[in-house]
Chain A
Amino acid sequence: MEFASRQEGAGTVAEIAGRLDSVTSPACEQRIRELIDGGVTSLVLDLARLQYVSSAGLRVLLLTAKLLKARDGQLRIAGVQPEVRSVFDMSGFSAMFQVEESVAAALASLT
């Protein structure tokens, strides 16, 4: 799992790449907590290079959404690949999250 974040326009874009599984999820959670603790309230998760997600990864994404909601923040998910999308569909995450085609579209949708 690789994690990289940058400020872009009205939000912060965090790219999560590789595998978000039981082994790698704790590191991802820590990085996201650091961003939110640092004051980030508008977050776009770029999943264009994410190849695999399990329930441990879904847990981190839901936690992120809850943390941002508690701070009146906003979360967008962008670039979801077919296999990851299928896991989102199975778990109801596609409907629960605001999923955008691209990072640009996600940034444009921030209010």
Chain B
Amino acid sequence: MRFATRLVPARIGELGAANAYVEACAVAAGLDARTRFGLQLALEEAFVNVCHYGYPDGPGDVAVTCETDGPRFVLEVADWGPPFDVLALPAPDLTLGVAERPIGGLGVHLIRTLARDVEYRRDEGRNVLRMMF
């Protein structure tokens, strides 16, 4: 069951709007609080990536889609920016100490950890990140 797609401007300040939409879908789908926490976190990481890197040449939108696939809840975050597969980014070294740890690079790692499965595809001029919970 596909809920709907919500278009949100790709700005950090709009995170709350994207969040409210996904939270409403997650509650409607009957997800428990723990899964909703992970969903919220994965949404933020995917949404913020688009805000920071998705549209180097100006403003743009993020399309947030929720659907259920049998027992699974699926969250898609899409943008119309240049082709970019966030899943191709290297995994961070989680064993480094404070001094050696680079700042950043944890967002995609959190998505991979939180979602049961995550896929990237380029689809009709869009980058689509599909996260299954």
| A positions within 8 Å CB-CB of B | 21-23, 52, 54-56, 58-59, 62-63, 65-66, 69, 83, 87, 90-92, 95-97
Contact = CB atoms under 8 A, between A and B. Distances in A.
Contacts of A83: 34, 37
A66 B34 CA distance: 31
Given A87-B41, A92-B95, 20 more contacts: A21-B15, A22-B48, A23-B13, A23-B16, A52-B41, A54-B41, A54-B44, A54-B45, A54-B110, A55-B104, A59-B103, A62-B101, A63-B103, A91-B92, A91-B94, A91-B106, A91-B109, A91-B110, A92-B96, A96-B101
Chain B contact surface mostly = helix
Interface string B75-98: 000000000000000001011111
B24 interface: no
A90 B109 contact: yes
B28 interface: no
13 contacts: A22-B12, A22-B48, A52-B37, A54-B44, A54-B110, A55-B45, A55-B48, A55-B104, A56-B44, A59-B104, A69-B98, A92-B95, A97-B98
